[in-house]
């Protein structure tokens, strides 16, 4: 039986490309910002591309920040993707300081020449990069949607900022970009989130979505 999955519509994001993956996996998802539909869902997807501050403003204007927090409290699965991953954190320094959803303790930082080895760093990072298992992920790996992904597999990234969680055992994978090592996926209770785009990451990304559906 297919699960009721809601892809959160807050005016920003790669909604259709994510929806196409769920349709491909024979579990169509509904794109919605309706509170009743969100709360009745079996699982929620928080996608996103764009600026952190603008995204948080949209969530607040639509009262979706409260809906997300309430949904998380139900214990049902939530998946964050790219900007959606970053919004789960406490704050971001993107174009000033902006408060996030504060579900994951930590801060979102910019790739800069101050914290990389290569002064010719290209921002944003666009393209394929490796993810590798965090040494603190031992207890979480087997129950995560990444469990069938090989260490050092490539995923597709598009971002100028990276997240730094305060609690290291919530980190599933790490990635390096031009000398900066950063968190590329997390698992905390019912929350799974990734900096990369699984829907752009070939069969490995499809497998991640399939495994996540299996946790619902």
Active site residues: 82, 197, 199
CB 4 within 8 A of CB 42: yes
What secondary structure, in 3-state letters, does the chain show?
CCCCEEEECCCCCCHHHHHHHHHHCCCCCEEECCHHHHHHCCEEEECCCCCHHHHHHHHHHCCHHHHHHHHHHCCCCEEEECHHHHHCEEEECCCCCEECCCCEEEEEEECCCCCCCCCCCCCCEEEEEECEECCCCHHHHCCCCCCCCCCCCEEEEEECEEEEECCHHHEEEEEEECCEEEEEEEEECCEEEECCCHHHCHHHHHHHHHHHHCCC
Interatomic CA distance for residues 28 and 202, integer angstroms: 19
At 84, list the tokens.
Answer: 């959606």
């Amino acid at each position: 039986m297919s699960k009721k999955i809601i892809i959160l519509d807050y005016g920003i994001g790669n909604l259709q490309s994510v929806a196409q993956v769920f349709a491909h996996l024979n579990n169509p998802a509904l794109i919605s910002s309706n509170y009743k539909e969100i709360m009745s869902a079996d699982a929620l997807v928080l996608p996103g591309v764009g600026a952190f501050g603008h995204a948080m403003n949209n969530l607040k204007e639509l009262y979706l920040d409260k809906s997300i927090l309430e949904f998380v409290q139900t214990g049902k699965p939530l998946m964050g993707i790219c900007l959606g991953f970053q919004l789960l954190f406490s704050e971001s320094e993107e174009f000033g300081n902006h408060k996030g959803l504060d579900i994951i303790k930590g801060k979102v930082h910019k790739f800069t020449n101050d914290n990389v080895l290569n002064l010719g760093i290209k921002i944003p990072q666009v393209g394929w990069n490796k993810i590798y298992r965090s040494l603190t992920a031992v207890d979480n790996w087997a129950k995560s949607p990444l469990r069938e992904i090989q260490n050092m597999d490539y995923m597709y990234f598009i971002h100028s900022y990276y997240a730094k969680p305060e609690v290291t055992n919530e980190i599933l994978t790490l990635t390096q970009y031009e000398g900066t090592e950063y968190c590329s996926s997390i698992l905390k209770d019912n929350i799974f989130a990734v900096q990369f785009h699984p829907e752009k990451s070939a069969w490995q990304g499809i497998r991640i979505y399939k495994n996540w559906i299996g946790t619902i």
